[in-house]
Structure 1
């Protein structure tokens, strides 16, 4: 079955954005188009003071490092510990992005049962130019994560993480590190990123969901391709061998 005209329009929008940004684009999928670009830490409703979030961030970091001692966490630098926290589901100021549109589409589809989902696209170099005055995207390797982010004026920026596990490699994973403004990324820089066409959200209405499923299948994107471990394999086998009507 051919793809719908609505899907072709969406693909043209993605291609146009990528072309405008010379192919330097990161993607993030949301199963609900109302979701903001807030990291797990800042999605919590702790209060209106950044000090409350910083206190929790410090407590969770130190607790994770202390109880993870037998996993050799004491030997790792602070950034590697934060990557591990994010990987295992703790609330951090890291926000997951991917260098692959297909990966973001997969995650937008997860949990999408009604209404609209969305794909966010950002030029990470433009983000850093607005945030830290240089378009360079660094791979942080030194200690000082907690000290650095205690600065109330620090802004969100894009980083390359260490590809320390098979999932982040399979998902072409990258991160933005949220700053301390207590505002989501899409509002943090006012209209600067939007007006320069460096940040954009595309909403996908439910009528194109069949297109999304077909596109993912055609490109071999599934749980096992993005979660190349036994958990991902088990979910993939469930998806392919169990009829939803049996559940």
Structure 2
């Protein structure tokens, strides 16, 4: 793990990483960064930390029913917006801008005494948010109970909805769907539909699942059907997301100085949180720190 104490050291280290720039109509190749202000925090999305995994679709549907006018976009954008307003989801925020990640690794007054960390995921295969693969995952997120999933039924419907990625015999379709469901973390590039995503060069990891068990039904109406029980994917290290993942340590003693350097080049609360509330907070702190008191 590389330790850095300034923006210059950080950018020198980043520049040594070999970045690729490949694009197709469905997949891009990007490097994602994630900054965390406490090195002890795990790489885990809010839904998986909050013991709400089995209630995922219920949370989403309830919120849509309460505020239908707020969620009129596609399902992925809806999930992003729900997370933005505080709902635990399986999304983990990342960025394509290394300085944005460095800001978040330093900026958290509650853990200023803790070392920060930047995770670097080089050259990830990244899905566009409008791809059929992302739509398939969103169908699960919004419609399925992870503890009782009839995959053959999902395959039958998905074969018609997503012919580019789900095709062949039902058994083949089922295997394809199971593959997509169990990707540990899928990298997704969102549409720039809100100011914060635009300002932060935002991107996301959709966390996947593992099969906990499966069983054959003995009920008269569904006898013989195989039902799957899923659990959250277990990410024990950043290499579970990307084999070439790297980490940069930001010592707690260097956080304040790095934040000053970031402010000088325009990476601050006012820039990264363009809503009025955050702009006001930035101005107040700036005035308190720099006002002239003497005559």
> How far apart, CA to CA, are the structure 2 residues paired with 1:148 and 1:178?
12
- Relative distance call for 1:189 and 1:113 in structure 2 (3 A) is closer
> After the TM superposition, which parts of structure 1 deviate over 6 Å for at least 4 consecutive aligned residues?
none
Matches within 5 A, 1:68-147: 68-71=67-70, 73=71, 75-111=72-108, 112-125=111-124, 135-140=125-130, 143-147=135-139
The unaligned stretches of length 5 or more in structure 1 are 47-51, 126-134
> How far apart, CA to CA, are the structure 1 residues paired with 2:262 and 2:247?
20
Q: 1:170 aligns with which of 181, 195, 199?
A: 199
Higher helix proportion, which one? 1
Structure-2 residue corresponding to 1:221:
267
Q: CA-atom RMSD, angstroms? A: 2.6
| 1:240 Cα deviation after fit | 0.5
> How far apart, CA to CA, are the structure 2 residues paired with 1:141 and 1:65?
23
The total of aligned residue pairs comes to 216
Structure-2 residue corresponding to 1:22:
20
Please give the secondary structure, in 1, of the residue aligned with 2:187: strand
Asked if the contact 2:115/2:251 (under 8 Å) is kept, the reply is: yes
The unaligned stretches of length 5 or more in structure 2 are 22-29, 147-176, 211-231, 291-295
> How far apart, CA to CA, are the structure 1 residues paired with 2:60 and 2:40?
30
Asked if the contact 1:77/1:141 (under 8 Å) is kept, the reply is: no
Structure-2 residue corresponding to 1:200:
246
TM-score normalised per structure 1:
0.77
| 1:212 Cα deviation after fit | 0.8
| 1:174 Cα deviation after fit | 0.5
Pairing 1:180–2:220 present: no
Query: CA offsets per residue over residues 92-132 of structure 1, 9 Å max, x none?
Result: 1111011111111111122141131111111252xxxxxxx
> How far apart, CA to CA, are the structure 2 residues paired with 1:239 and 1:119?
25
Query: CA offsets per residue over residues 36-87 of structure 1, 9 Å max, x none?
Result: 211111122x2xxxxx61x31111110111111233x2x4322221111112
Structure-2 residue corresponding to 1:34:
40
TM-score normalised per structure 2:
0.65
- Relative distance call for 1:148 and 1:188 in structure 2 (3 A) is farther
